[in-house]
Amino acid sequence: MLRRDFLGFSGVALAAMLHKDGYTVGAAEGRAPNGKPHFTPQAKSVIWLFMNGGVSHMETFDPKPMLTKYAGKSINETPFQDVQNPEKLKLARVTVVNDANGQQRNKLYPLQVGFKKYGQSGIEVSDWLPHTGACIDDLAVIRSTWTTDDNHGAQTQFHTGRHMLDGEYPTLGAWVHYGLGSLNENLPQFISMGNREYWNLKDGHYLGPAHDAVPVRVDPANPLDFGKPELPVSASEQKLGFELSGKLNKLRATEYPNDPALDARIKSYELAFRMQKSLPEVLDFTKETEETKKLYGMDRNETKSFGMQLLAARRLVERGVRFIQIQHGAGGAGVWDAHGGLKANHAANCLAVDKPIGGLLTDLKRSGLLKDTIVVFATEFGRTPGTQGSDGRDHHIYGFSVWMAGGGIKGGLVHGATDEIGFHAVEDRHYVTDVHATILNQLGLDSRKLEIPGRKRLDIDHGTAIKAILG
Amino acid sequence: MPASPAGFRPLRLFSFSLMLLIGASGRAATPIDYAKEIRPLFQERCYSCHGALAQKAKLRVDSGAFLMKGGVLVPGKPDESEILARVSAEDEDTRMPPEGHPLKPEQIAKLKRWIEEGAKVPADDAPEPDPRDHWSFRPVQRPPVPTVANPAIAIRNPIDAFVAAKWQEKDLKPVGPAERRVLLRRVYLDLVGLPPTTAQMEAFLQDNRPDAYEQVVEQLLASPQYGERWGRHFLDIWRYSDWWGLGAELRNSQKHLWHWRDWAVESFNANLGYDEMMRQMIAADELYPTEPEKLRATGYLARPYFLFNRTTWLDEVVEHTTKGFLGMTFNCSKCHDHKYDPVSQVNYYQFRAIFEPYQVRTDLIPGEADIKKAGLPRAFDCNLDAKTPFHIRGDERNADTNRVITPGLPAFLAPRGLSIEPVKLPSAAFEPLRRPEIAATLLRQTELKWARALLEHASREERARGRSKIIEWALVGPSGNALAAARFELKQIEAAIADPGKAAVSLRGAIKSAESNVETAESRSRQFPATSTGRRTALARWLSDRENPLTARVAVNHLWLRHFGNPLVSTVFEFGRKGTLPTHPELLNWLAAEFMDHQWSFKHLHRLMVTSSVYRLSSSNLNAVESTQRDPENRYLWRMNPQRLQAQAIRDSLLHLAGELDLTRGGPPIAMAQQENSRRRAMYFFHSHNEHNKLLDVFDNANVLDCYRRTESIVPQQALALWNSKLALEMAGKINDQLHTRHKDADDARFVTAAFELVLGTPPTSNELATCEEALIDLRAALPKLNEPQKTQRARLQVILALINHNDFITVR
């Protein structure tokens, strides 16, 4: 049964409940959602894998032999010179004049890796990603995503639809959390893991902090902030204390009856107490078999850290957590940001994520969870077909790849395309919010019905579901 | 906003097709109701261009008469009605409305049927009112105070009369007054952000003077903690933030911005008028160019500094100056004319033009020549001729070069416009070296360098010969790099002081923050101008003018929100036509007039509000069944609203009750790493977009980008923070120890009573007491390894923790 989770009694939700917030007074649209999908959902949960820094689409999911053929040539010496037609470059918004990065790179850089066909679909995947390749028949590869900002503020943009400079907007996970009820009253429903220090740590923004992801570390001993007493207190003492606090709060209701804030607080304490116990249990992998741990690459140093996060993600999904947001790659603006030494950079980063991702997909599939769970592989932008310095690629917004799997998404298919050198998305172009719309669609949510009065969203903020990849 | 409530669309489509079916079979359907089905559609999609605000193509559609007059509608003949053709056109260039989605097929069908049915409108149909007549755009006039026959409360001041009159009008009965203990805790937390100590509570309970409460109010308003509490409230609205960027690179706000924070605290404590506060924040550099104490206020303009993009920077200035001071959303007119208020897109850029010339610089603070260590960030007019662009559809890449934008305000708000007079600055303002204390600071620093180099250079032998010999030796002029450099620098400084107009950038006594990441060397080294445009002074004067219809109303509303837990106008930054109407319009007007007529004194308003009878009501709705039914949201204040405490107040209260709070005021912010162990008030913590305290965040600390009203969330992380954080555990321990010291050998009942009184302000009820006593039995049993008295003391720690985690500890009842 769906339950409206207690995390939701806050911010806009509470205000709407009390009819306190100005914009909600008298506006039926302003009421907090009831936690039920707007139409029959195809999926229950989302595992959102985000590669910080910008993954080269050409060295992962969108091979371009022409780059090798014309390697070293300036774009205007090739048959593809029209890609730099100023009209076509217009969608770029320059926020930082004379930025060292985010420039046009004219000299074509050859592919740094080979490709092989995988699965029955025969889709080509980079030799750096054999385990992902092995799951290709479950993946819908979208080769025609685009964005507008040539700097890493595009990370925020991929999560909210808006660049940092446009202000702060709720992330996709926050919308899902706002719109859907809880499937497990012992766990927070929106969890983030990994590194997101470059962009803002918040998700809820105008939906309120109740819709921020709860940051979790894959460490059963210390999984979340304030997750255990910071000075010695025994579990039995604390339990009695917690119980006492619950009783005292309830007794106040005789003097202050019908106080929704008091009721919500009592419930939030109960959840806190359960969460404190249940989260370490989820993150304790002792009951997982060695085979499973290996499947996620937990037996190798290169893959261990991401593998643990993905195994945690599976365990969270299993227990009904709605949205798990995992950012891969710390340092600077993200570890994938290969302005130089692309080959070594991407080989190492692919190695770190490939085995765990293959393991996650395999594990979800064999346990039957994949049909209810959407897995997304995304990044803020691709990288330039041209070379930066001697061996790097710069940020590239005009066309790049993401993929989605599970939760009613068709596998073994390629949707959209970039031109012959991977410059512009030319077929079935999708702004980043189309990915959001697709996910919301599978979860049974209509983003227009979630809108907050006074916070008008534009069509481009909502995006359009990519129907072609839906089963 | 789409008018359809969630979930109804399929049903509607169904009934629409059903309607067609009925229509086809010739049976009569219910006629379309203009007021319910057509007018709201026009209102949402058409009025902004074809209504009272604008009449594009000379067409208005906001009344039946206007529609007929415009000739776009022929009753009974949809095919001849242009309006229908235009809304259903395939071609985007002819289709209306030009922005947003086309009308939905069912909306078009309804419109068509309404025309077919004769386009009937009700007899009382009237065009929408002139936006200029909107309540908040009309001048503030002091309304008469109503006389209330047989009021339910003592009418202590006009607030009570206005509120009681509403109760009678709405047939509401107020609850009784709050207990004295509850009231005292309320007013303490409200005015100073700290709860009363046990001694303060006892003194109040024993004070039988009729004005005991008023005496407390006066004491609190006079205490320096008042300025911290209310300064912080307004720093929320003014978006205070310490600097941030990427790593060490400053990109937003400014270093040393705390000077502005201290100015706010001091100004509230000194009861500086709000009119003067605004003048100082927006234009102190023009009005008081040589008074550093007042220049601190322009930190307000140093705050939105942004290294990379001037448009983003000024967009923030426009958005938050209009929202914060005027309750207007000028930001909505950046890309197109405002859809609700008579603010055109040109007005937006005219408002921006007021700020176009300004930049930010940091002046030296006497005594410290290193700008990294100290300095005063402030605004000044730098580029007097800077042109303001007009961005077509708000797109920075697409400026209309033919348009000349001059500073100005929308005429409906400022009929006399802005009277801008350029300000000739005294030389000490644009050549800080002319200030003797600045010259001395630079000179002294260089002299010190020189002396240090000298000493280093002198040989041991020379040193042995004594000081006078060294000087003698120095005068002979030994060589040496450091010494030569120091001597050169000293000469430069002396030259600079003699002729400040020619001083090098680093020797001017003030450093301009880079205007952008691509600023040229030429622009960087330009001298500061000797005049200022006076644009911001003109704006500040208009904002603080008695005739300004918005400023006082908006400020009064912010005050009311924080005292009563709910504002009179719930859209606190939106007083335009999109905003909500005030619950008590006359009261709001009366308070605004009273505010302005008392030199814009906040303390005067605080006094009125907290000494009113309404403020003293209980927040319980016990036995108030009828009022609860009639006004469940308590819009008419028949009881007090309970409020969740703000993050800072929760943390400070904990420290205060534990006797640990350090009330030192002002100064540089406390660095992140020192915060956990700091005993200072939380408002002094470093707080920026990138760096914010984890514990305060859990309780909805101010968002530095936008915080007109703190969120009051209830999330499980709050429980974890108050149960598990080192701070909570440590303070609970200290409170426990303190109570044991104060109540030696107390039994559980006495201990629990004292703990309740200290932490929650009220003694326990008999049920609460019994519950605690039972819990203590269990707790002792859970501690078999301890002996008395340690066992009891340890068990009671959980009682303290439970009270810290009590809803009514973080709530103001």
Q: Is some CB atom of chain B closer than 8 A to the CB atom of A28?
A: yes
- Please write the tens of the pLDDT for every residue from B284-328: 999 999 999 999 999 999 999 999 999 999 999 999 999 999 999
Q: Is some CB atom of chain B closer than 8 A to the CB atom of A332?
A: no
Residue A261 has a pLDDT of: 86
CB < 8 Å to A21, chain B: 570
Task: Report the DSSP pairing between strands B358-363 and B510-512.
Answer: antiparallel
CB < 8 Å to A449, chain B: 6-7
* Cβ pair A230:B570 closer than 8 A: no
Residue B325 has a pLDDT of: 98
Q: Is some CB atom of chain B closer than 8 A to the CB atom of A9?
A: yes
- Closest CA relative to residue B364, chosen from B354, B352, B377, B353: B377
Of B308, B729, B765, the CB nearest to A229: B729
**Choice between B72 and B159, residue whose per-residue pLDDT is larger:** B159
- Please write the tens of the pLDDT for every residue from B328-348: 999 999 998 998 899 999 999
| Most distant pair of Cα atoms in chain A: their distance | 82
Q: In chain A, which residue's Cα lies nearest the Cα of B795?
A: A237
Q: How many other CB atoms are found less than 10 A from the CB of residue B442?
A: 25
Query: Distance (Å) from the C-alpha of residue A346 to the closest C-alpha of chain B?
Result: 24
CB < 8 Å to A451, chain B: 1-2
Q: How confident is the model at residue B132 (pLDDT cuts 50, 70, 90)?
A: confident
Residue B44 has a pLDDT of: 82
- Please write the tens of the pLDDT for every residue from B590-629: 999 999 999 999 999 999 999 999 999 999 999 899 999 9
Query: Distance (Å) from the C-alpha of residue B201 to the closest C-alpha of chain A?
Result: 21
* Cβ pair B716:A262 closer than 8 A: no
Name which of A160, A256, A445, A461 to mutate to probe chain B: the one with the most chain B Cβ atoms within 10 A of its Cβ. A256
* Cβ pair A269:B719 closer than 8 A: yes
The span from the CA of B326 to the CA of B432, in Å, is 34
What percent of chain B is predicted at pLDDT more than 90? Answer: 73
Query: Distance (Å) from the C-alpha of residue B355 to the closest C-alpha of chain A?
Result: 20
Q: Is some CB atom of chain A closer than 8 A to the CB atom of B569?
A: yes
Residue B19 has a pLDDT of: 38
Least confident of B1-5, B50-54, B563-567, B771-775: B1-5
Q: Is the pTM of this model over 0.90?
A: no
CB pairs under 8 A between A and B: 228
* Cβ pair B580:A25 closer than 8 A: yes
Report the sign of the C-alpha dihedral through residues B627, B633, B634, B639, in that order: positive
Q: Is some CB atom of chain B closer than 8 A to the CB atom of A260?
A: no
Sorted by sequence, the CB contacts under 8 Å of residue B486 that are 6+ apart come out as: B446, B449, B450, B452, B453, B454
Q: Is some CB atom of chain A closer than 8 A to the CB atom of B677?
A: no
CB < 8 Å to A252, chain B: 806-808
Mean confidence (pLDDT) of chain B: 91
- Closest CA relative to residue A447, chosen from A182, A213, A204, A179: A179
Residue B68 has a pLDDT of: 84
DSSP label at residue B675: H
Which stretches of chain A drop beneath a pLDDT of 70?
Answer: 1-32, 95, 97, 197-201
**Choice between A49 and B48, residue whose per-residue pLDDT is larger:** A49
Report the sign of the C-alpha dihedral through residues A338, A341, A346, A349, in that order: negative
- Closest CA relative to residue B44, chosen from B108, B114, B97, B95: B97
Residue B469 has a pLDDT of: 59
Q: Is some CB atom of chain A closer than 8 A to the CB atom of B441?
A: no
* Cβ pair A248:B806 closer than 8 A: yes
Locate B732 and state its tokens. Answer: 């609970």
CB < 8 Å to B733, chain A: 231
Least confident of A57-71, B358-372, B471-485, B786-800: B471-485
Locate B664 and state its tokens. Answer: 């030192």
Over residues B3-11, the mean pLDDT reads: 33
What ipTM was reported for this prediction? 0.85
- Please write the tens of the pLDDT for every residue from B540-559: 999 999 999 999 999 999 99
Q: Is some CB atom of chain A closer than 8 A to the CB atom of B145?
A: no
Over residues B102-129, the mean pLDDT reads: 90
Task: Report the DSSP pairing between strands A139-146 and A430-431.
Answer: parallel
Over residues B339-366, the mean pLDDT reads: 96
Is A223:A280 a contact under the CB 8 Å cutoff? yes
Tell how many helices (H) and how many strands (E) occur in chain A.
13, 15
Query: Distance (Å) from the C-alpha of residue B159 to the closest C-alpha of chain A?
Result: 21
Q: Is some CB atom of chain B closer than 8 A to the CB atom of A103?
A: no
Locate B809 and state its tokens. Answer: 């500890």
- Please write the tens of the pLDDT for every residue from B644-698: 999 999 999 999 999 999 999 999 999 999 999 999 999 999 999 889 999 999 9
* Cβ pair B771:A247 closer than 8 A: yes
Is B352:B314 a contact under the CB 8 Å cutoff? yes
Residue A423 has a pLDDT of: 97
What percent of chain B is predicted at pLDDT more than 70? Answer: 93
* Cβ pair B802:A248 closer than 8 A: yes
Residue B465 has a pLDDT of: 62
Query: Distance (Å) from the C-alpha of residue B380 to the closest C-alpha of chain A?
Result: 24
CB < 8 Å to A19, chain B: 632-633
Residue A195 has a pLDDT of: 84
The DSSP result for B536-605, as a single string, is HHHHHHHHT-TT-SSHHHHHHHHHHHHHHSS-SSSSTT--STTSPPPSSHHHHHHHHHHHHHTTT-HHHH
